[in-house]
């Protein structure tokens, strides 16, 4: 991805640098050749060269670009499980996913870590974004997911004779687990997404207290993935599933819903991050009836929401790490609503706005494995910056309103927002 050339000064705003430090009032951010060269009080800023470009932040907020830590580029606001895979061909889904990545960037998300996608679309989206051919967050790809036969993602009845091979590897035993990971290694993914447990969405046979993979299968996934320097995460709701994942060596936990004290200790021992993705549960409860979700499913989502909120609070208060991401891409929880996760964590879970922003920036970059370059506004880092017309500490919900964004920058280049120029179409010839 290209970076800006020359020097840019952003001033007249508070600076929230993403480290968790309190906001710096009347701050300045200086960008030189796409990287941050100064972040701090305007009064202490270094002298600037004569041709410095100046951006007026209008008394608002300067913060790191947000990181979506559980992004499904190929979920196009689906209403039923069938829509995830077999409704449309991968050609059409690929086109729709590029619309989702552009939208995510417009929503202030300059980076995202995939939580699974159809076929290997993520890896190629990442390439097109990195080469500035399409707009989107810097991506960490995960491709197809892994679930054991009969588990949550193996919902497609055999009599239909329609494969689900686009979304998941359905495995039986450790040999299948290794085989699936090896295919993902060849695909070029960075994170392997698995299904250790069920979900409220499947109350009959794979509910949120059910295990969907054996410990041996999970361990085989981790051993194979780690050998090839890939990381492993999983959809973990049930108490035992969380502990199995942590004991198997998982690098992150998605949801961590029914974590107990032993699970929390295991999580903290290796400082494994957790991405609760809670607004999805709230949206399922509020908007689910419009989409035909049964009362039984909605009751399960309520139980998941209550336990998930409590677990998230416990993890953060115990010194653990939370990423902000939200399973966006369902009809009741569509792409574009990403920052509702942040508002939800302040208003319903009880985190402070500063804590939530730190989770959504610094911790997100750590989960991506790119915290040396991204996630905070500190000297030397890439200038992925969000400038908001307003005080996001006083009102976190401002982050839900992209019309309030003065600029969304990647590598010092203004990509979207009020002061952006139209995204140029790049014509590129193969050498």
Task: Please compute, for residue 60, the number of CA atoms within 13 A of its CA located in the half-sphere on the CB side.
Answer: 21
For residue 59, give every residue at least 6 positions away whose Cβ sits within 8 Å of its Cβ, in sequence order, or none.
12, 13
Q: How far is the CB of 327 from Zn ion (least distance, A)?
A: 4
Sole binder of Zn ion in the list 115, 166, 300, 308 (CB under 5 A): 115
Closer to Zn ion by Cβ: residue 305 or 385 = 305
Of residues 159-178, those binding Zn ion (CB under 5 A): none
Determine the interface stretch with Zn ion among 112-120, 283-291, 398-406, 409-417 (rule: CB under 5 A): 112-120
Determine the interface stretch with Zn ion among 41-49, 109-117, 219-227, 352-360 (rule: CB under 5 A): 109-117
Closer to Zn ion by Cβ: residue 65 or 326 = 326
Residue listed under structure tokens 């909120």: 309
Q: Report the C-alpha gap between 200 and 185 in whole angstroms.
A: 31
Q: How far is the CB of 27 from Zn ion (least distance, A)?
A: 36
Determine the interface stretch with Zn ion among 23-31, 108-116, 125-133, 410-418 (rule: CB under 5 A): 108-116
Site string for Zn ion, 56-95 (x = CB under 5 A): ----------------------------------------
Determine the interface stretch with Zn ion among 24-32, 115-123, 142-150, 209-217 (rule: CB under 5 A): 115-123
Q: How far is the CB of 363 from Zn ion (least distance, A)?
A: 18
Determine the interface stretch with Zn ion among 111-119, 141-149, 164-172, 279-287 (rule: CB under 5 A): 111-119
Distance of CA 291 to CAs 83, 302, 330, 332, Å? 13, 16, 10, 7
Output the CA angle 265-304-289, nearest 5 degrees.
165
Q: How far is the CB of 70 from Zn ion (least distance, A)?
A: 5
Closer to Zn ion by Cβ: residue 115 or 241 = 115
Q: How far is the CB of 9 from Zn ion (least distance, A)?
A: 40
The encoded tokens of residue 403 equal 């019309």
For residue 247, give every residue at least 6 positions away whose Cβ sits within 8 Å of its Cβ, in sequence order, or none.
215, 266
Contact call for residue 411 and Zn ion (CB under 5 A): no
Say if residues 383 and 64 touch (Cβ distance below 8 Å): no
Q: Is the dihedral of CA 307, 309, 313, 316 positive or negative?
A: positive
Say if residues 70 and 327 touch (Cβ distance below 8 Å): yes
Backbone angles phi, psi at 121, to 5 degrees: -60, -40
Q: How far is the CB of 275 from Zn ion (least distance, A)?
A: 9
SS3 268: helix
Sole binder of Zn ion in the list 145, 327, 337, 384 (CB under 5 A): 327
The encoded tokens of residue 141 equal 């790809």
Residues of the shown chain interacting with Zn ion in the complex, contacts defined by CB under 5 A:
115, 327
């Amino acid at each position: 991805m290209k970076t800006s050339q020359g020097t840019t000064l952003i001033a007249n705003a508070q600076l929230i640098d993403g480290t968790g430090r309190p906001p710096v009032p009347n701050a300045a951010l200086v960008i030189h050749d796409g990287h941050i060269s100064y972040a701090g009080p305007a009064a202490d800023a270094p002298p600037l060269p004569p041709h410095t470009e100046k951006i007026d932040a209008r008394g608002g907020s300067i913060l790191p670009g947000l990181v979506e830590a559980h992004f499904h580029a190929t979920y196009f606001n689906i209403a039923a499980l069938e829509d995830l895979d077999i409704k449309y061909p991968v050609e059409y889904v690929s086109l729709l996913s590029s619309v989702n990545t552009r939208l995510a960037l417009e929503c202030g998300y300059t980076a995202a870590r995939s939580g699974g996608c159809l076929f290997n679309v993520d890896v190629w989206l990442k390439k097109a974004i990195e080469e500035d051919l399409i707009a989107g967050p810097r991506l960490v790809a995960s491709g197809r997911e892994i679930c054991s036969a009969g588990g949550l993602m193996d919902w497609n009845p055999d009599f239909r004779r329609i494969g689900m091979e686009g979304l998941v590897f359905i495995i039986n035993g450790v040999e299948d687990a290794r085989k699936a990971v090896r295919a993902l290694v060849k695909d070029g993914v960075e994170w392997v997404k698995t299904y250790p447990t069920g979900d409220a969405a499947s109350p009959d046979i794979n509910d949120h207290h059910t295990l969907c993979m054996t410990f041996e299968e999970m361990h085989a996934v981790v051993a194979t993935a780690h050998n090839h320097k890939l990381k492993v995460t999983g959809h973990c709701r049930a108490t035992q599933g969380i502990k199995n994942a942590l004991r198997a060596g998982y690098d992150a936990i998605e949801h961590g819903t029914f974590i107990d004290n032993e699970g929390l200790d295991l999580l903290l021992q290796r400082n494994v991050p957790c991405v609760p993705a809670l607004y999805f549960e709230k949206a399922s409860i509020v908007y689910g009836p419009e989409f035909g979700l049964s009362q039984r499913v909605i009751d399960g989502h309520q139980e998941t929401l209550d336990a998930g909120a409590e677990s998230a609070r416990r993890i953060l208060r115990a010194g653990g790490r939370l990423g902000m991401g939200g399973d966006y891409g369902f009809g009741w929880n569509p792409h574009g609503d990403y920052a509702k996760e942040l508002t939800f964590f302040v208003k319903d879970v009880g985190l402070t706005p500063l804590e939530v922003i730190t989770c959504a920036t610094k911790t997100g970059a750590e989960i991506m494995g790119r915290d040396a370059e991204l996630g905070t506004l500190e000297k030397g880092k890439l200038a992925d910056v969000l400038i908001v017309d307003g005080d996001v500490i006083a009102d976190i919900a401002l982050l839900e309103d992209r019309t309030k964004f003065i600029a969304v920058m990647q590598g010092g280049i203004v990509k979207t927002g009020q002061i952006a120029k139209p995204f140029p179409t790049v014509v590129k010839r193969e050498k």
